[in-house]
Chains A and B, each alone.
Chain A
Amino acid sequence: MIVMQIKSNELLDQLGEVTETHIRKAITLYQNMEDEQMLKPALDGGWSIAQCLDHLNGYGNVYFPKMRTAMDQNTKANDEYRSTWLGDKFTKSLDPDTGKMKMKALKGHRPERNLDAAAVVAKFIRQQEELLDMMKTARQRDLSGIRIPISIASWIRMNLGDTFRFIVAHNERHIRQADRLVPAHTMGGK
């Protein structure tokens, strides 16, 4: 059983960098794409870009208030972070590089086809700004000591650091899924 043990700031730097790539992509690309492109399903019938982002927004809706409240209520700082076995397992299963298993999204997290694409992107951008802001606050918190209940079973808790890792890995997974739907000539950005 290998757990991760690093400086909190180092973890948050890494996660912040990945989140920054997501927000940049949303700004340069997604918010400027035509609705038709954003809503087009994948060739195999899979989610559109808008559905991928809407799915991520759903997780933000569930987790961000819990994370904020937990950080407001527990203000002790700790510059060391230690992951948990559960956190590692969740993050690995979602990580697009290590989680090879094709997963079906849980009920309640399956987005509709007919979305307001602009609103979905705007919300995604807002949530990534929120995520970066929470990471800033988290630098003065105990990432291992604060516990967040997971959405599928509220008696199971991950620590705050694991929660950040899981959210960012989940975002990365679906951003890569969305990448596959972007026409090749637009990927480079204008």
Chain B
Amino acid sequence: MNSLDILQDLLNRIHKIPDPVMAELFGIWTPVKADRKELLTKCGNVEKYIYVVLEGVQRVYYLDDQDREATILFTYRPSFSGVLDSFLLQTASKYNFETLTPSSFLRASFTSFNTLMEKHHAIETMVRKGLSGVVGGLEERLVEIQCFSSEDRFRSLLKRSPHILQLVPHKYLASYLGMDPTNFSKLINKIRI
């Protein structure tokens, strides 16, 4: 699949955009590449771009004042990426957005994306529907965090992302699950059997 096919497929999953509008939407994206562990958006800065993941795995994470990390989410194809609230509101990001593996993206600036959102109702609808899906996902995750055991949260992660164990270093998965890396290793061994 070429990059525009990936973009089109991703958009169509959310909302069917009329062809002439889609053609305009195609025009705002630039292909970019990033190395492993490249910090694309730093906490405190405004997210300038929205990304479409073509290759690789990324994460958005929070860093507290004692340098403890909380991984909020992973992104990989087919998905949008970046710090979404900071991008849409153009406010300072509370989180860091980095690549975990060498990655490639299409990315669009806020200015160009916002111009099209204001011009075409279909694009605004697409964003609204997309965000509704994100809200639903976050609600599910809140339930998991409050009600599930570590093991169940891990199983849920594997259900969402079956290959993630082979894609990223386990320490990031432990961070996402709110677990100590040693306990995470024990959990993998337990589940393996």
Q: Which residues of A are in contact with B by a Cβ distance under 8 Å?
A: 20, 23, 26-28, 31-32, 34-35, 118-119, 122, 125-126, 129, 132-133, 136, 189-190
Contact = CB atoms under 8 A, between A and B. Distances in A.
Contacts of A122: 169-171, 181
A20 B185 contact: no
A20 B36 contact: yes
Nearest to B102: A20
Interface in B117-140: none
Contacts of B33: none
Given A20-B102, A119-B182, A32 B166 contact: yes
Contacts of B102: 20
Nearest to A129: B37
Contact of A132 (B35, B163, B170, B192): B35
**Interface majority SS on A: helix, strand, loop or mixed?**
helix
Nearest to A133: B37
Contacts of B146: none
B2 interface: no
B189 interface: yes
Given A31-B165, A31-B169, A189-B166, 4 more contacts: A27-B167, A32-B166, A122-B170, A129-B36
Contacts of B168: 27
Contacts of B192: 34
